Amino acid sequence: MIIGLTGGIASGKSTVASMFKELGCVIIDADKVARDVVKPGQEGLEAVVHRFGPQILTQEGELDRKALGAIIFHNEEKRKELNSILHPLIRKQMQREKEEALQANPPLIIMDIPLLFESQLEQTVEAVIVVYVPPNQQLERLMQRDQISREEARRKMDSQMPIDEKKKRADFIIENSGSLAETRTQVEAIFTKLSKE
């Protein structure tokens, strides 16, 4: 069974993904794939350099995320252009990984996609799990995790669909505002239910 895992920024999705991995699930991580497609020698990096110029490379020839971020962060048009280059490559790579995972026949394949709803990918999975924390807790965690101001944290949160909206669209919700043990209990319960289907 192919499951989508999503949540808001700093909601603890990576922690939940690791718990599913410990239970024998294959995790296909969109963020990792997004990093892989812009590694030196990959067509993604070549296409991005072709569009945004060599100033987005480090001296070692790797993608300089800060330099690219400075170009696209306040420019919606350029951000859309970047996404139009990278999203098809990311989807293709995730599809390849999914097909490989299906050969191994794991109990569940978890597609860990932060922007699952924003990218309208919910139809590519059989059920969606949302990792949820209340927005005020999400804000505090994000400030602490990234060592950023309240304003910057709020801006990052505002660039995603509100977590309460994601919660409404979920098939399963993991409340991640308590202890790790409480989160693990919820993960195990969902795993047991879904791996039987």
Contacts of 185 (CB under 8 A, 6+ apart): none
Residue 168: pLDDT band (50, 70, 90) is: very high
If one counts the domains in the chain, the total is: 2
> pLDDT, tens digit, for every residue of 3-58?
999 998 999 999 999 999 999 999 999 999 999 999 999 999 999 999 999 999 99
Beta bridge partners of 26: 109
pLDDT, average across residues 85-92: 93
% of the chain with per-residue pLDDT over 90: 84
Based on the domain organization, do 76 and 157 belong to the same domain? no
- What are the tokens at 97? 């990984």
The CATH number of whichever domain residue 2 belongs to comes to 3.40.50.300
Q: What is the pLDDT of residue 155?
A: 87
Cα–Cα distance measured from residue 46 to residue 54, given in angstroms and rounded to the nearest whole number: 10
Residue 69: domain span: 32-105
Residue 156: pLDDT band (50, 70, 90) is: confident
Q: What is the pLDDT of residue 16?
A: 97
Q: What is the pLDDT of residue 82?
A: 93
Cα–Cα distance measured from residue 15 to residue 182, given in angstroms and rounded to the nearest whole number: 12
Angle at 43 between CA 40 and CA 48, to 5 degrees: 85
Based on the domain organization, do 73 and 86 belong to the same domain? yes
| Of 105, 129, 152, the domain-final residue | 105
Based on the domain organization, do 124 and 67 belong to the same domain? no
> Quick check: pTM over 0.75?
yes
Judged against a pLDDT cut of 90, whether residue 125 lies above it is answered with yes
| Of 62, 83, 105, the domain-final residue | 105
- What are the tokens at 173? 């919700």
